[in-house]
Amino acid sequence: MVSLTIATWNVRGLRMAARQNEILPLLATGLQDIVILQETHLVSEQQRSRVQRLWTKGPSFWSYGEEHQAGVAVLIKARRDLSVDFVLEALPGRLLIVDFTLLELSKDGEKEKRAFRLCGLYAPVVASQRRKFWVHLKGYCSTHRSLLIAGDFNNRSKLADYSTYIEKDCSGKKLNPLTPEERLLESFLSDRSLKDKALEVTNQLNFVPLPCKKAFIEQYGPQGSGKFTWYQKNRASRLDRIRAPAELKSLSCRLTVTPWSDHAMLEVQLALGEVRPRGKPLWRLRPKTIDNMACKEEIASVVANMMTLEDLYASELPEWWERAKRVIRKTCQNYEYVINRKDLQRYQQAVYDFLKCHQNVNQGLPVNEQVLKLSRTVIQNFQLRQKLKRKNYKEFRTKGAVVDVEEWAGAKTPCSSISMEGLRRCEGDLVEADPKSMLKVMEGFYGDLYSKKAIRKDDIESFFNKAPQNLLESMCEGLTQQDREDLVAPVIEEEIWQVIFQGKTKSAPGPDGLGWMFYKTFAKWLVPPLTRVINQLLSRDNLTDSFYQGVLIFFPKQGDLTLPQNWRPIVLTNVDYRIVAKVLNNRLAKLAPKIILGPQTSAVPGRSMLDSLCLFREVFYLAQRGEWKGGILSLDQTKAFDRVHHGFMWEALARKGLPLRFVKFIQLLYSKAQVTPQINGHRGAPIRLNSGVRQGCPLSPLLYVLVLDTVLCQIQAKENITGLRVPSPGGAITPLLADVAVKRVKYAVHADDISFFVNNREEIASVMTTLGGYQQVSGAQINLQKSRLISFVREKGTLCLSPVEVVTASKQTQQENQTLERLEECKILGLWFSIKPSGWEKNWHLWLKKIKEYFDKWKPWRLNVYQKAVYVKTYIMPLALNLAAVYPPPRKS
């Protein structure tokens, strides 16, 4: 097992030759692989060159600043498996960044590279300066490398880090353990899962030479003396710390006390056997690159040059577009690299020139005033840009107190970085933590899920023929001839303009890295040729490769996160694909109300989830008064969007009256579609999308709703399912019963959340039989274990929840499985419903509790009236308005 020993030490001066001859040999003979030093007190290039020559064990990097007490260094001992990749003097004398790589043998006997980023720091003593320092540090921590942060933090991570801490005051009130600046740092470190490695094992206390300060330090007791790293008179503290990922396990920790400093040297040995560094993220064109005028002009020039070649690709415009994207991408990557390198190099050179000029002044040598002025300007501009990054967004800048970006981000619900710790195919299997193994688990799971289902075309046609076509057509208005012509009309530039400027600028781009910002910036040049490209693509049998590509990323759901099914998949497609899909979606959405039944409130313009919520409100009100004695059959579908059979989907679209040419447009988008799973930055092998709809595609919600509506139409047509009559919901945005063909309400549905209103077991059996036939031909799967029948006990004011698999079983099985769950309220579509007269008030009590949490978080911040109004409008009002549309606020709260 490979290990890495890191040490940090505030040496309190290394300028004098005597100190150098005492401290550097001590470090050279130690077992440390990397040593971070603070307060070197170096002030000139001559002194830096001298100490670099004295360290002969490997590379060393020294940074000195303007302050006398500043200075930070990173000393590395030569190892065959350790190589330094990059060094950056981020803040002179305060922050030194070192990227290095370790080679390690994997389980298969192959050499693996593990990339690390070490941040050696010496934090300012003043709290206000430390806060700015942490914000500056955060910018260098956005990396795919494993992060190591070590040095003199000059603050606490918890109250017990001070020997004189008091947990409670004289009145018994618990004191606030950390200051705002300390909480900011701890929040930032915990979000990145960086643990304090000195606290994971027992610290060993050593003295060099042996009697050094031993009696003085032992006054803090055996526990405290082995914990603190700074001692002075009757005080001690743990200012020096080493933070590393949780996967790095501490093997040992040692504190070495010397007479040369009031800080002890903290040394931690880390085991690297279980470290799984993140892979490289997808490249994306960043806004700052587009904002660069030189880069913008270069991209415009590339676009203009590529447009001159358009005539040569008259019949192959999609291939021309693919070539243009490759050239634009390469140009942007080159400029992005140049911009980043030039900024850093100019800043570092300016710092060097500035310090050189000050050194000449101290020595009485002549100074080049022009160089001094230029270097000062470059440093000021660089620091100003860093400061502007920490400012709040433009619209929230006012003359009063300013909330910086950290506090603004903190106003939202805290969200830690998303990473998979391990995966297994099913319960009982071994959890795999290696990225390659996790990718194989995901590839196997989604390979089976997206595989082509063995469903015959004859079975699909027989399913649709069960209900008379004229009866199904009478339920909806249907499409006119003009509607069909509009669906297949050539794409025009106005449609492309509309889609581009409706795109969300901050949404993640696809594999090509060109996001909405790129298309919006160069829309004037891109829209005309892109319109011609799309029209030619839709007349072909196949799209070009980039239109089929997608990256499958995952977001956690509830449950065991070692199982693939508890991660929500989202496909990141290229923006040009999204433009095509959005154009088709806009055309289809205009006609959706004509071909989709009224109770479906998702993906249909003019309908809202509030319609379904208000319907449930009326249903529970009828049950409360005893006017309806039925039950609500709430069904849960397993991976509903991912199981849609493509053959069934094409037939469903055709049966809805869509032109065959428009159906072919959608088939083009899915014919060779594939997704590449990405886990912790690592990407696996492509998976063909032979079933399901792309979650993240603009067309997916509407396509799924159209597929589901086919079975709902059959249930609506069944005369043996009576449903119930309810008044038109007064609080709904759109009346559910506006369609005169819908005499009764038999179900409520929002996307894949379906609830049927049943009156007896015969109706339940009829619904389940119809859905069973739907499952056989569509690939859908009803999860009977999670599906529930909600029945009402009006006398007791309670609800009975019973599993559907028990309800649909035989009477003998029902008697053996009496698994009734009695509750006072149940949650449907995010709101709590009850048949108690005041049961709905729970929603407002929870809302009040939530806003109190917001107010407690914002209370310490100094906000002016405008900022308070923005916060309330952003986070409080939407919750209240959605709830008030269903239930009014209670009179007493």
Average pLDDT over residues 579-593: 96
pLDDT in tens, 479-530: 999 999 999 999 999 999 999 999 988 888 999 999 999 999 999 999 999 9
Q: 717: which 2 tokens?
A: 């047509």
> According to the model, what pLDDT value does residue 165 have?
64
Provide the pLDDT for residue 197: 92
Residue 39: burial class (beta carbons within 10 Å; 0-12, 13-18, 19+): buried
| pLDDT of amino acid 547 | 94
- Contact 687/450 with Cβ under 8 angstroms? yes
Diameter over CA atoms, the chain: 103
Neighbours of 658 (CB within 10 A): 23
pLDDT digits (tens, 9 = 90+) for 429-439: 888 888 889 99
User: Does the predicted model carry a pTM greater than 0.75?
Assistant: no
Which residues, at least 6 apart from 477, have a Cβ–Cβ distance to it below 8 Å?
593, 594, 595
Q: What does the pLDDT read at residue 404?
A: 43
Q: Which pLDDT tens digit goes with each residue over 547-583?
A: 999 999 999 988 889 999 999 999 999 999 999 999 9
Nearest Cα to Cα of residue 826 among 638, 639, 601, 634:
634
Query: pLDDT tens across 307-330, in order?
Result: 888 888 888 899 999 999 999 998
Predicted confidence at residue 212, as pLDDT, reads 64
Range name among 224-238, 290-304, 707-721, 803-817 with the lowest pLDDT average:
803-817
Average pLDDT of span 649-654: 94
Across 292-296, 353-357, 710-714, 808-812, least confident range: 808-812
pLDDT for position 659:
95
Q: What is the pLDDT of residue 419?
A: 75
Least confident residue range of 77-86, 156-165, 553-562 = 156-165
CA separation for the pair 569, 554 (Å, rounded): 5
Return the H-helix or E-strand segment holding 379: helix 369-390
Q: pLDDT at residue 817 above 60?
A: no
Cβ neighbours for 413, distance < 8 A, ≥ 6 positions apart: none
Task: Copy the structure tokens of residue 527.
Answer: 């829209």
Give the pLDDT confidence score for residue 174 in this predicted structure.
Answer: 56
State the pLDDT at residue 79. Answer: 86
187-236 pLDDT, tens digit per residue, is: 888 888 899 999 888 888 888 776 666 655 665 555 555 678 888 877 88
Establish whether the linkage from the previous residue to 735 is cis, with ω within 30° of 0.
Answer: no
Locate 585 and state its tokens: 């979606």
> For 327-352, how does the pLDDT look when each residue is reduced to its tens digit (9 = 90+)?
999 888 887 777 666 666 777 778 77
Q: How confident is the model at residue 410 (pLDDT cuts 50, 70, 90)?
A: very low
**Helix or strand or coil: residue 270?**
strand
Question: Does the pLDDT of residue 653 top 90, yes or no?
Answer: yes
User: 3-class secondary structure for 112-169?
Assistant: EEEEEEEEEEECCCCHHHHHHHHHHHHHCCCCCCEEEEEEECCCCCCHHHECCCCCEC
What pLDDT does 435 receive? 87
- Tokens at 144, concatenated: 């795919």
Task: Evaluate if residue 701 carries a pLDDT over 70.
Answer: yes
For residue range 832-890, list pLDDT tens digits in order. 999 988 888 999 999 999 888 888 877 777 778 887 888 888 888 888 888 999 998 88
Q: Is the pLDDT of residue 413 over 80?
A: no
pLDDT tens for 719-749 read: 899 988 876 544 443 444 444 333 579 999 9
Q: Is 569 left (phi over 0), alpha (psi -120 to 50) or beta?
A: beta
Query: What value does the mean pLDDT take over residues 583-612?
Result: 93
241 residue type, one letter: R
Place of tokens 């002016």: 864
Distance CA 129, CA 116 (A): 27
pLDDT at 390: 44
| 3 state DSSP class of 89 | strand
Q: Which residue has the tokens 């309810």?
A: 726
Confidence of residue 820 (pLDDT cuts 50, 70, 90): confident
Give which of 232, 66, 78, 117 is closest to 164, Cα–Cα.
Answer: 232
Cβ atoms 241, 123 nearer than 8 A: no
Give the whole-angstrom CA distance, residue 550 versus residue 504.
18
DSSP string of 660-688?
HHHHHHHHHHHTT-EEEEEETTEE---EE
Mean pLDDT of 623-632: 90
CA distance 791 to 630: 7
Sign of CA dihedral 241, 244, 250, 252: negative
For all residues of the chain together, what is the average pLDDT? 83
pLDDT band at 805 (very low <50, low <70, confident <90, very high): low
Phi, psi angles (nearest 5°) of residue 112: -115, 140
Question: Which conformational region is residue 659 in: left (phi greater than 0), alpha (psi within -120 to 50 degrees), or beta?
Answer: beta
Report, as an integer, the average pLDDT of 582-590. 96
φ, ψ of residue 78 in degrees (nearest 5): -65, 130
Return the pLDDT at 342: 67
Per the CB < 8 A criterion, the answer to whether 558 and 683 are in contact is: no
Q: What is the pLDDT of residue 879?
A: 83
Residue 708's pLDDT is 94
Q: What is the pLDDT of residues 779-789, one digit of tens each?
A: 999 988 888 99
Please say if the pLDDT value at position 649 is more than 90: yes
Question: 613-625: per-residue pLDDT in tens?
Answer: 999 999 999 999 8
Residue with tokens 């890295």: 513
Predicted pLDDT of residue 176:
56
Give the pLDDT confidence score for residue 445 in this predicted structure: 94
- Return the CA Rg of the chain: 33
